[in-house]
Amino acid sequence: MGSITNRLVLWNIDLTLMDVARVSREAYAEAFRRVAGRPLVALPQLAGRSDSEIFFDALALNAAEVPASQELLAKYTWELAEAFGARRELLTQRGRLLPGAVAAVQATAGLPGVLQSVLTGTIRANATLKLAAFGLSDYFDLDIGGFGGDAYPRGSQLLNCRAQAEEKYRTRVPPGTTVYLADSARDVEAARIAGVTCIAVASGRSTASDLAGADLVLADLSDTAGVAAAVDRLTRVAASR
């Protein structure tokens, strides 16, 4: 970390790097039942949404007779971390890394002047478990990431991650030198609002045409050299303006 960090690479986790949906859904159901006092029959749309958004939508969708509040969200977040943590051994049994994920993360980590973190809809505790399960923890500085428990829309989170990186590393991350790799149309829109470069990966629920607003759309992460070159090219161009 001795060199000046002036490029920030942020990764979404679910359906960009890995698919652990089966485990996540079980944890959602258990945490919801404990907090709302009724089973989770209908699950809201998940793509590009934070755990807090999913919870509040689930309350309405399942006609839970409990008033939504920050206190209720805090209880749910705690229960969700407990339910997911109890299933950590199932992550690699029922989940999988997506093609090229590890190699792509490793390759971008090796680019000069790059610092990596995550911007994910998952709460921090569960994001940490997901990355650890698949051997990815060492590539990310989670102190400058954005998570599903944060009280900001994703566009604001993108800007906040850059500010956190500048503060922690006492360096400047110039506008345009942040790139977000994600898989949903909502992520692409958040990047546009924040003025952040976006590499969209059509590995989730969104099709390539859904992701057309991104700076670059990839089918997956299997072309390691191509992913790293795209990150390098897009952030170097921005840095030289």
pLDDT tens digits, 18-59: 999 999 999 999 999 999 999 999 888 878 789 999 998 999
What residue spans define the domains of the chain? Answer: 7-19+96-239, 21-91
Q: Mean per-residue pLDDT for 156-180? A: 93
Count CB-CB contacts under 10 A for residue 212: 12
Q: Which of 47-56, 81-90, 117-126, 153-162 has the lowest mean pLDDT?
A: 47-56
Q: Tell me the whole-structure pTM to 2 decimals.
A: 0.93
Phi/psi region, residue 112 (left: phi>0; alpha: psi -120 to 50; beta: rest), is beta
Burial of 200 (0-12, 13-18, 19+ CB in 10 A): buried
pLDDT value of residue 46 = 79
pLDDT single digits (tens) 223-237: 999 999 999 999 985
pLDDT for the residue numbered 1: 40
- How far apart are the C-alpha atoms of 197 and 214, rounded to whole Å? 8
The CATH number assigned to the domain with range 7-19+96-239 reads: 3.40.50.1000
pLDDT, residue 179, reads 97
